[in-house]
């Protein structure tokens, strides 16, 4: 199965970047405290400063540290995550490319939430639900029909491209489960805002996968700053 994945590209700055962006207001500059055989760390004073900034929502110093990721996810996930407007986004365009599309199929089909207009709970076993109107699969399940549909869509797309249909139109046959990919860059505070929102238990599971992976990557890059921003989420 095609996996949802966020991978690290690069980053700029460190916890010290955040500290010095704040201390410049007073004409001051801090340095890391070196440890023999170990990583550079912030002083206790600077650590407390970062935590103070996060707690009291003085976020501008966190804007001086950046990270960049490559994300691969289905279209329906991308269309939720692109709403985080303070993060820079450049996505592959099927106006220009006609490479073989990949489709996301979940391991588990979740049930509709009983008390919410959106959201999910429990599990639905599609293998046990018959598809009475399927002509090619007698006594088949909805899951089998979905597999057939994805195959038909792929064959249709291939044929349209082969016959010279422009990719910008041929893409119209592709479903929301089609995988897309993008470069995602932004400041520390912008990514923290995204993760604090998307890691909540009532958000869609597939978007949580992306946020969880980015969260895991950010922790060692900015241990003090990232920890402070995630601890002081209002939600």
What are the residue numbers of the active site?
A: 198
DSSP-derived letter for residue 100 is: P
Distance CA 90, CA 69 (A): 11
Residue the block writes with tokens 């869509």:
153
Give just the sign of the alpha carbon dihedral 114, 177, 133, 145: negative
To the nearest 10 degrees (0 to 180), the angle between helices 205-221 and 188-198 is 140
Helix/strand/coil for 114: coil
Report yes or no: 137 and 145 within 8 Å, Cβ to Cβ. Answer: yes
Which tokens is 149 given?
Answer: 């549909």
């Amino acid at each position: 199965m095609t996996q949802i994945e966020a991978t690290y590209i690069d980053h700029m700055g460190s916890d010290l970047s955040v500290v010095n962006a704040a201390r410049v207001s007073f004409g001051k500059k801090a340095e890391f405290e070196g440890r023999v055989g170990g990583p550079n760390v912030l002083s206790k004073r600077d650590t407390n400063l970062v935590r103070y900034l996060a707690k009291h929502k003085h976020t501008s110093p966190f804007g001086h540290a950046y990270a960049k990721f490559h994300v691969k996810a289905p279209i329906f996930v991308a269309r939720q995550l692109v709403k985080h407007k303070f993060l820079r986004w450049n996505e592959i365009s099927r106006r220009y490319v006609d490479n073989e599309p990949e489709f996301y199929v979940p391991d588990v089909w979740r049930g509709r939430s009983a008390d919410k207009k959106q959201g999910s709970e429990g599990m639905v076993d599609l293998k046990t639900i018959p598809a009475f109107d399927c002509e090619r699969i007698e006594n088949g399940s909805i899951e089998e029909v979905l597999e057939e549909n994805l195959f038909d869509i792929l064959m249709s797309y291939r044929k349209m491209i082969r016959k010279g249909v422009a990719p910008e139109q041929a893409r119209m046959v592709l479903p929301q489960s089609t995988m897309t990919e993008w470069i995602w860059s932004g400041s520390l505070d912008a990514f923290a805002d995204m993760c604090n929102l998307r890691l909540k238990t009532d958000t869609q599971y597939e978007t949580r996968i992306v946020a969880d992976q980015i969260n895991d990557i950010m922790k060692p890059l900015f241990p003090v700053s990232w920890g402070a921003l995630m601890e002081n989420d209002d939600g």
